[in-house]
Structure 1
Amino acid sequence: MPSQTDFPLVFEHLKRILKPYAPKLTVKMDNQNVFYLDGPYSEKYKRELYFASTHIKKNYVSFYLMPVYMYPELLKGMSPALKKHIQGKSCFNFKKVEPELFKELESLTKSGFARFMKELK
Structure 2
Amino acid sequence: MDELKIIQQKLIAIFKEHIPPLKIEIESETNFKVSGTKEAMQGKQKVDGYYFGSVVPKPKDIRLYYFPIYTHVSDFENISSNLRKCLKGKSCFHIKKMDVELENDIRKMVNKGVELYLKDELI
* Bin for the TM-score computed over the shorter chain: 0.7 to 0.9
In the superposition, the TM-score normalised over structure 1's length comes to 0.86
> Which runs of no fewer than 5 residues in structure 2 stay unpaired?
none
**After the TM superposition, which residues 98-117 of structure 1 pair with which residues of structure 2 at under 5 Å, given as runs?**
98-117=99-118
Q: Determine if the alignment matches structure 1 residue 13 to structure 2 residue 10.
A: yes
In the superposition, the TM-score normalised over structure 2's length comes to 0.85
Aligned to 2:34: 37
1:44 positional shift: 4.4
Percent identity (aligned) = 25
Cα distance in 2 for residues equivalent to 1:87 and 1:67: 15
Cα deviation, 1:62-104, whole Å, max 9, x if unaligned, reads 1111111000012222121211100111111111222201101
Computed over aligned residues only, the root mean square deviation of the Cα atoms, in angstroms, reads: 1.8
> Which runs of no fewer than 5 residues in structure 1 stay unpaired?
none
Cα distance in 1 for residues equivalent to 2:38 and 2:17: 19
Aligned to 2:89: 88
* Number of residues of Structure 1 aligned to a counterpart in Structure 2: 118
